């Protein structure tokens, strides 16, 4: 009964994960290439964005 349903659901989840795995990997590689291109083309802007994000995180964590 319940154990069989749980095993079936687990097997379905594994199959779904395997089917989506290649697409996720390809999408993440494309995103990494885009980020790398942005950092290469705009190093100062990237540095400024990182600095601003660090300052915001520091301010938020300091106030808590």
Q: What is the pLDDT of residues 16-51, one digit of tens each?
A: 888 888 888 999 999 999 999 999 999 999 999 999
What pLDDT shows up at residue 60?
93
What pLDDT shows up at residue 63?
79
Measured between alpha carbons, how far is 7 from 17 in angstroms, rounded to an integer? Answer: 15
Domain of residue 26 covers 2-63
What pLDDT shows up at residue 54?
96
If one counts the domains in the chain, the total is: 1
What pLDDT shows up at residue 64?
67
Look up residue 43 and give its two tokens: 């190093």
């Amino acid at each position: 009964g319940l154990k069989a349903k749980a095993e079936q659901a687990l097997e379905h989840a594994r199959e779904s994960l395997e089917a989506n795995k290649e697409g996720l990997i390809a999408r993440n590689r494309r995103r990494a290439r885009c980020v790398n291109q942005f950092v290469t083309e705009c190093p100062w802007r990237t540095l400024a964005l990182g600095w601003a994000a660090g300052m915001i995180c520091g301010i938020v964590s300091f106030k808590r």
